[in-house]
A = this chain, B = another copy of it.
Amino acid sequence: MSRKSLEDLLQSADGPVELLRNAQIGPYAFPGVPEFTNWRDEQRAWRETCVLFDQSYHMTDLYIEGPDVIRLLSDLGINSFEGFAPDKAKQFVACNHEGYVIGDAILFYLEENRVSLVGRPTAHNWVQYHAESGDYDVTVERDERYAVNPARRRKLYRYQVQGPNATELLEKLNGGPLPEIPFFNMGEITIAGRKVRALGHGMAGQPGLEIFGPWEERDEVRSAIVEAGRDYGLRQVGSRTYATNTLESGWIPSPCPAVYTGEKMKPYREWLPADGYEGMASLGGSFYSEDITDYYFTPYDLGYGRFVRFDHDFVGREALEEMSGNPGRKKVTLVWNGEDVTRVFATLFREEGDPAKYIDLPLSNYATLPYDAVLKNGSVIGVSTYTGYSYNERAMLSLAVVDAEHSEPGTEVALLWGEEPNTTKPTVERHVQTELRATVAPAPISEFARTAYRTRTI
């Protein structure tokens, strides 16, 4: 067999950190129209009126079917499956044996014995591996994200309508009141005469629904939303803007999958291809350790402590039981100092010397897995991940994981921006590293997402 596995790749590389830091792929791909209008107004619309997010392209869907579906997921997920039933959904999180996060994805309970996982493919791959190698009566089917989908065809369109006007707009489209759809539950509405399945969930932490239906109906459903949306200040959000929503809602999309180490994980690495997400992903930023496990996160680091339930056995349970009393680190939002960000832009105009690493706006990640060092008094006290500008907050924000003792809102920290030495990633131009001031804020930073979002029904 000539197929190369992730394990083969790692054996031939100078360690996972060097491999990933010099990977030739850029930030995670968001296909589609970059800007429908302009990204400032597209961001503003989800806070002030409403938006249409098109999520039809960037996520992999894994369908799992069979009588053992829930047993499989329960063996791998930190989440409780108590009461999990058709028309419910949850944020599924899988860990390795040491309790470090492999990946998370949205789990849809579509119908009896049939679910789908939707997101970056790390959790999918782990679940598929167990479905195929373990003793489970299930079948799996992958519907790949666009970037690695040569057929350029999906099974489903997936949209979100979100923002203060979203409910009114959805009612208008539905031709009457919406069914009660609690957070992370599903229901059905009608748009343009088409049945549309709807999840109570939204990326920007605003009221609204995620809706999906057959790929063939994507144009008519979108057209109907755009048309009706004119009266509600709806803006379509382009791919350049889309992913910045998470800066306000606080979800970290880019944990380094905890799969590169450990004898127990070796069979999985032998199953994973060399050219999949785990083998191709690039690691970028100022945070550096020779030890890849320093890039791993626990569920507690990522704010998923509330999902960890010891009501079932699952991979990593023992390790998490040990950790559970001692959270250690905490997820926060960093608000970058505007003067210091401005100073980074100013380096574009200096005649001598290299500029600082360019800050692309509104999304500023230059690697699949962004990891920048967060400092306090010169010592590393955490890592800063997803980064970009929010017009709504008029600030550069990043989602970070910092030592609990420095996680209080208002704490002043520093962020190290740029790589030293510069890596060979194609997205990395010759640059000098620079330190920026930042202030700790809650994650999510958005008042609405932090307080009202999870308890609402729409």
A residues near B, CB below 8 A? 26, 34-38, 40-41, 44, 338-339, 341-342, 345-346, 348-351, 355, 358, 361, 366, 389, 391, 394-396, 426-429
Contact = CB atoms under 8 A, between A and B. Distances in A.
A180 to B, nearest CB: 36
Q: Which 5 A-B pairs have the closest CB atoms?
A: A338-B349, A37-B426, A40-B429, A342-B346, A345-B345
A391 B349 CA distance: 9
A192 to B, nearest CB: 24
A339 B349 CA distance: 8
Nearest to A239: B34
B358 A349 contact: no
A409 to B, nearest CB: 17
A365 to B, nearest CB: 12
A346 B338 CA distance: 7
A70 to B, nearest CB: 42
B349 A394 contact: yes
29 contacts: A26-B35, A34-B34, A35-B427, A37-B426, A37-B427, A38-B358, A38-B426, A38-B427, A38-B428, A40-B355, A40-B358, A40-B429, A41-B426, A338-B346, A338-B348, A338-B349, A338-B350, A339-B349, A341-B345, A341-B349, A342-B342, A342-B345, A342-B346, A342-B349, A348-B361, A349-B394, A349-B395, A351-B394, A355-B394
A264 to B, nearest CB: 38
Contacts of A44: 429
A249 to B, nearest CB: 21
Given A38-B427, A341-B345, A349-B394, 9 more contacts: A38-B426, A38-B429, A40-B355, A41-B426, A338-B346, A345-B345, A348-B391, A350-B394, A351-B394
A346 B341 CA distance: 8
A358 to B, nearest CB: 6
A158 B373 CA distance: 45
A425 to B, nearest CB: 9
A35 B363 CA distance: 14
A391 B389 CA distance: 22
A429 B351 CA distance: 32
Give the one of A41, A342, A350, A366 with max B CB within 10 A: A342
A427 to B, nearest CB: 5
A197 B25 CA distance: 34
A244 to B, nearest CB: 13
A342 B40 CA distance: 18
Nearest to A395: B349
Nearest to A431: B40
A153 B3 CA distance: 36
A41 B424 CA distance: 12
A41 B429 contact: yes
Contacts of A345: 341-342, 345
Contact of A36 (B394, B395, B426): B426
Nearest to A43: B429
Nearest to A24: B37
